[in-house]
Amino acid sequence: MSKILSSKWTKVFLFIASLAPLAYVVSRAFQNNLTANPIEYITHFTGDWTIRYLMFTLAITPLRNLLNQPKLTRFRRMLGLFAYFYGCLHFLIWSVLDKQLDPHVMWEDILKRWYITVGMAALLGLTPLAITSTAGWVRRLGYKRWQKLHRIVYGCAALGVIHYWLLVKSDIRLPLMYGAILTALLVYRWVVSMRKQPPAPKRVPVGVVR
């Protein structure tokens, strides 16, 4: 297992596999096979892949610890960048195809519809994380500060789930599922951080000299 995870080919494979959803939707577009409402279809398609990649990214650390496979960390950055990539495509489809890049119409939509406001906040929150995802930025910020900044990803994922929840009309099963996954990941993180905290120093009764 460790050998597979260390191989550069696994990374190449994951990169190509992560482009498969894009290849799939582009091939359907070329075949004129994007359902009766193509804009709605690709908006939903890219939204689905954004939230899936966010969950994949957040699952890496718990999986690494539970399976005792430190090499899994090698894939976290790529998965996070794919979440951002699909998020940007999702935004571009909405802004270019749905709103014809009209700033007034876009702004009105952001102010009027809560789910757009929340989606926008999630994508904006991911932007500094994508920018600072390089080794150079880890060095510049220092690992501790960089790590603190990158905890925002949990907030962005929560906003992504709320965005999904707000836009579904009746069947809330999928947003509920993503909400449950995110809650489990957060609880896991909290438990690990509690265990890592050094035990509180034992109280020495006043007057006792050791």
Task: Provide the H-helix boundaries in 31-151.
Answer: 38-67, 76-92, 103-112, 114-131, 135-141, 143-150
Encoding tokens for residue 74?
């090698």
User: Rounded to 5 degrees, what are φ and ψ at 180?
Assistant: -70, -40
Tell me: does residue 133 bind ligand HEM (CB under 6 A). no
d(CA 175, CA 166): 9
**The one among 40, 127, 151, 191 contacting ligand HEM by CB under 6 A:** 40
Q: In this chain, which stretch among 1-9, 17-25, 49-57, 74-82 interacts with ligand HEM, using CB under 6 A?
A: 49-57
The 10 Å CB-count burial string (b at 16+, else e) for 40-60 is ebbbebbbebbbbbbbbbbbb
Check: CB of residue 32 under 8 Å from CB of residue 25.
no
Length of the chain: 210
Draw the binding track, 170-209, toward ligand HEM (x: CB under 6 A; -: no contact).
----------------------------------------
Contact range with ligand HEM by CB under 6 A, out of 38-46, 145-153, 185-193, 195-203: 38-46
User: Taking the complex as a whole, how short is the minimal distance between the CB of residue 163 and ligand HEM, in angstroms?
Assistant: 5
Q: How far is the CB of 94 from ligand HEM (least distance, A)?
A: 4
Q: Is 58 in the site for ligand HEM (CB under 6 A)?
A: no
* C-beta of 72 vs 157, nearer to ligand HEM: 157
> Which one of residues 18, 85, 119, 133 is an interface residue with ligand HEM (CB under 6 A)?
119
Count of positions on this chain that bind ligand HEM (CB under 6 A): 23
Find the part of the chain contacting ligand HEM (CB under 6 A) among 6-14, 19-27, 142-150, 159-167: 159-167
88 binds ligand HEM (CB under 6 A): no
Q: Which is nearer to ligand HEM, 6 or 35 (CB)?
A: 35
What distance in Å separates the CA atoms of residue 80 and residue 95, rounded to the nearest whole number? 22
Tell me how far apart the alpha carbons of residues 113 and 105 are, in angstroms, rounded to a whole number.
12
Dist. CA 148–CA 125, nearest whole Å: 14
- The whole-angstrom separation of Cα 58 and Cα 178 is 12
User: Which amino acid belongs to residue 22?
Assistant: L
Nearest to ligand HEM of 63, 111 (CB atom)? 111
Interface with ligand HEM, residue 51, by CB under 6 A? yes
Interface contacts to ligand HEM, rule CB under 6 A: 40, 43-44, 47-48, 50-51, 54, 87, 90-91, 94, 116, 119-120, 122-123, 126, 156, 160, 163-164, 167
